[in-house]
């Protein structure tokens, strides 16, 4: 195979926490309860052969991602501010360079209860299933321990 | 599928730039010219289903990775100090949170010419080919431009 010239550098721009040649996207077009999130795909969708995508998400103060689950895994690396992750039956506090692995089908939500933006890389498989809403048994598990009860946002029964 | 409980947090330890429950490994057991590198596999090899591995490498001052090429791609994220990457016919300077995509079969080498450790995440496909030594035409290309001529380390013809 001939070597090719498509290597590239995305220069980090500390002033606004963006990367050169990366365009900010909407977090999701679809439904679900979420707010205050930007999404940036850094690696993926440009002809790469790699089996993964690297995205950067930023949650504004008071914002949160969808409460959801899916078979594909998340690898989350905190790189701006700090935040919280509700995963299965635990709550994790995330600070700079902490790495969180979210296992297959674990219900999860990322939350920013702080006063500064919470930014993180999220690495996922290129081929992946769509997120699903939680089922009643997922909510019962979240509500069964004091660690996660009342810590998630936006579940509406029958929604 | 039942949700499972194998999610986990690797807490970053800023004092020594390590992560909880991650063990430092040798960079490579094999041959080739390289020096001063530690390797840490953070995601991968623990029953994950994801199609990628997340590793953290640290190159000591004056150290370098092998000069090599392979079909699988690298996604490199600088998170400690700064360093240099020779890739195909270019040299990139890497600083905090810069993201470098190294394309399939691009000859490359990561170098730390500075006085502090150069640390970076490197994301790769789980299933990947073994690195190969460069061929004469790769070296001729490196030597053909002033940008890369003399910037790589350790090529021995016929080695």
Q: Which of B78, B122, B124, B134 is catalytic?
A: B122
What value does the mean pLDDT take over residues B95-114? 97
Instruction: Name the burial class of residue B158, with classes exposed (0-12), middle (13-18) and buried (19+) by CB atoms within 10 angstroms of its CB.
Output: exposed
> pLDDT digits over B18-68, tens only?
999 998 887 775 556 678 888 999 999 999 999 999 999 999 999 999 999
B122 is a catalytic site residue: yes
> pLDDT digits over A81-90, tens only?
999 999 999 9
What value does the mean pLDDT take over residues B111-133? 97
What interface predicted TM-score (ipTM) does this complex get?
A: 0.93
Q: Quote the pTM value.
A: 0.93
Q: Residue B128 CB: number of other CB atoms within 10 A?
A: 16
Q: Which two tokens stand for residue B93?
A: 């300077």
> pLDDT digits over A111-128, tens only?
999 999 999 999 999 999
CA–CA gap between residue A53 and residue A75 (Å, rounded): 11
Task: Check B96 against A14: CB less than 8 A apart.
Answer: yes
CA–CA gap between residue B23 and residue B67 (Å, rounded): 25
> Which member of A8, A92, A126 has the closest CB to residue B101?
A8
A101 close contact with B: CB closer than 8 A: yes
Angstroms from A91 CA to nearest CA on chain B: 10
Query: Using the 8-state DSSP alphabet, how is residue B22 labeled?
Result: -
């Amino acid at each position: 195979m001939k070597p090719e010239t498509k290597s590239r550098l995305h220069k980090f721009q500390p002033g606004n926490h963006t990367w050169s040649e990366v365009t900010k996207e909407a977090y999701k077009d679809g439904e679900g309860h979420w707010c205050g999130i930007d999404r940036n795909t850094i690696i993926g969708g440009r002809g790469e052969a790699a089996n993964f995508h690297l995205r950067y998400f930023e949650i504004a103060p008071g914002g949160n991602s969808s409460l959801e689950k899916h078979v594909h895994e998340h690898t989350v690396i905190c790189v701006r501010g700090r935040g919280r992750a509700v995963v299965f039956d635990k709550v994790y506090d995330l600070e700079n360079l902490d790495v969180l692995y979210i296992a297959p089908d674990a219900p999860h939500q990322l939350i920013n209860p702080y006063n500064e933006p919470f930014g993180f890389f999220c690495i996922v498989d290129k081929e992946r299933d769509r997120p699903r809403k939680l089922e009643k048994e997922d909510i019962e598990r979240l509500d069964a321990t004091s660690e996660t009860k009342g810590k998630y946002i936006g579940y509406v029964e029958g929604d």
